[in-house]
């Protein structure tokens, strides 16, 4: 019975080891985002920002001002213009 348990757990360990190696190999084959050029501004959709503010009367004006200052055009998405 001890030998059966040892063989069974050996098969289980082998399964998880091979599955982990397959996942690692697949992960290495995924494309990296740094390998892609940024999209043109005209191709980018408009975005909406939602944030939760509960009992934040004092901090809300500063938070809204900070959000209004965000500019994504400076992130390099101008298509070389």
DSSP 8-state assignment for residue 59? T
pLDDT at 73: 62
pLDDT at 59: 87
pLDDT in tens, 21-72: 999 999 999 998 888 887 787 777 777 888 788 888 888 899 889 888 887 6
**Could you tell me if 56 and 63 are in contact, meaning their C-beta atoms sit under 8 angstroms apart?**
yes
DSSP string for 9-77:
HHHHHHHHHHHHHHHHHHHHHSPPGGGSPPPPGGGSPP-------SS-TTTHHHHHHHHHT--SGGGS-
* Token representation of residue 51: 């944030």
pLDDT band at 78 (very low <50, low <70, confident <90, very high): low
């Amino acid at each position: 019975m001890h030998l059966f348990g040892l063989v069974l757990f050996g098969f289980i360990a082998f399964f998880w080891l091979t599955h982990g190696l397959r996942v690692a190999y697949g992960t290495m084959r995924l494309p990296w985002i740094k390998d892609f050029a940024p999209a043109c501004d005209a191709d980018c959709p408009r975005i909406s920002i939602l944030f939760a503010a509960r009992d934040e009367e004092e901090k809300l004006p500063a938070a809204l001002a900070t959000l209004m200052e965000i500019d994504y055009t400076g992130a390099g998405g101008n298509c070389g213009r």
